[in-house]
């Protein structure tokens, strides 16, 4: 796995991924691309669409089958939104890396992930 040269890029594509978050740890964004691409994750927004109940969220950065916590059981109040990651603290996903999400209740949380695919090919 070689990290691409992000100074001499050939393209930068803006993307947004959206998904419900369940009680099963699930990779919601995976860099399965060739080694000449890196994903720059700019923003992660988690919304609790349940009007009554709070819900916990856990977000992990996964590399080589090992999870590294970005958030661990953080409460998202009912009808509220949590900015879990903002552009001033971006995370880079190299080839094979992923972001793994888990909720304390299925059906309560949704994620919006803004990212860029940076290519030096």
Which tens digit of pLDDT belongs to each residue from 59-94? 999 999 999 999 999 999 999 999 999 989 999 999
Give residue limits of the domains in the chain: 13-119
Distance CA 86, CA 64 (A): 25
CATH 2.60.120 fits 13-119, yes or no: yes
Distance CA 38, CA 30 (A): 11
- Nearest CA to 11 out of 42, 37, 29 is that of 37
Listed in sequence order, the residues at least 6 apart from 97 whose beta carbon sits closer than 8 Å to its beta carbon are 30, 31, 39, 61, 62, 63
- Nearest CA to 57 out of 116, 101, 12 is that of 101
Determine the pLDDT at residue 34.
64
- Render pLDDT for 22-39 as a digit per residue (tens, 0 to 9): 999 999 999 986 678 899
DSSP-derived 3-state class of residue 87: helix
């Amino acid at each position: 796995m070689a990290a691409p040269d992000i100074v001499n890029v050939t393209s930068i594509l803006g993307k947004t991924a959206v998904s419900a978050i369940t009680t099963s740890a699930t990779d919601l964004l995976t860099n399965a691309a060739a080694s000449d691409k890196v994903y720059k994750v700019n923003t992660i927004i988690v919304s609790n669409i349940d009007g009554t109940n709070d819900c916990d969220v856990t977000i992990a950065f996964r590399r080589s089958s090992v999870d590294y916590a970005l958030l661990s059981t953080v409460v998202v109040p009912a009808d509220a939104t949590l900015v879990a990651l903002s552009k001033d603290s971006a995370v880079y996903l190299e080839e094979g890396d992923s972001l793994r999400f888990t909720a304390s209740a299925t059906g309560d949380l949704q994620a919006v992930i803004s990212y860029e695919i940076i290519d030096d090919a």
